Amino acid sequence: MKKSLGILGVILVIGFFLYQFFVGFYNTGVEYQENAKTAWSKVESAYQRRADLIPNLVNTVKGYAAHEKGTLEAVIKARASATQTKIDPTNITPEQLAKFQQAQQGLSGALGRLLVTVEKYPDLKADKNFLELQSQLEGTENRIKVERDRYNEAVNKFNKHIKKFPGNLLAGMFGFKDMARFQSDKGAEKAPKVQF
């Protein structure tokens, strides 16, 4: 009888520790995954802020440089494409992330061409509204970088959690999958050529 109670006690203690381990792994995984999803929402919010600034920027430039119609239309078209590309934060794949980045690159390129065009118009470069919009756009680009870095940190924490032993044995059972990280654009590792 005593021996049976001792065995039962050991089984209960082992069961309790296994339960705690499984619950702890799962709850930590859910917490890290949700933190990564929230970080992704902040990335999208920063990109949305940039997209929201563009109509004002285009309208300001339009007043000074009406004959730069092609450049302005390219910015508007790139903005539309960038805002239509959405990612499901519950299942961010490298392919979806690449598509999202490609749309954002198109918008960045169009904005770059617009700002180069602005150099031809000294009155526009001195316009208070334009200067304010340009400053906000620069600040937004910095926010985008910060939010992408924070997203990558959150994804890194989650991915390490599900890949470390013994969690890697449980990750599939709980449906945890590796989350995709932001990566630099192709060619970003090469320094741009500056010619005078």
The verdict on residue 183 lying in a domain is no
The verdict on residue 16 lying in a domain is no
**The whole model's pTM is what?**
0.79
The verdict on residue 119 lying in a domain is yes
Identify the band that residue 27 occupies on the pLDDT scale cut at 50, 70 and 90. Answer: very high
Identify the band that residue 194 occupies on the pLDDT scale cut at 50, 70 and 90. Answer: very low
Question: Rounded to 5 degrees, what are φ and ψ at 103?
Answer: -65, -40
Lowest mean pLDDT among 42-46, 184-188, 192-196: 192-196
Report the C-alpha gap between 28 and 162 in whole angstroms: 10
pLDDT of residue 162: 95
Identify the band that residue 67 occupies on the pLDDT scale cut at 50, 70 and 90. Answer: low
The verdict on residue 138 lying in a domain is yes
Report the C-alpha gap between 136 and 117 in whole angstroms: 19
pLDDT of residue 62: 80
Mean pLDDT of 13-32: 93
The verdict on residue 4 lying in a domain is no
Domains of the chain: total? 1
The verdict on residue 131 lying in a domain is yes
Domain that holds residue 101: 47-174
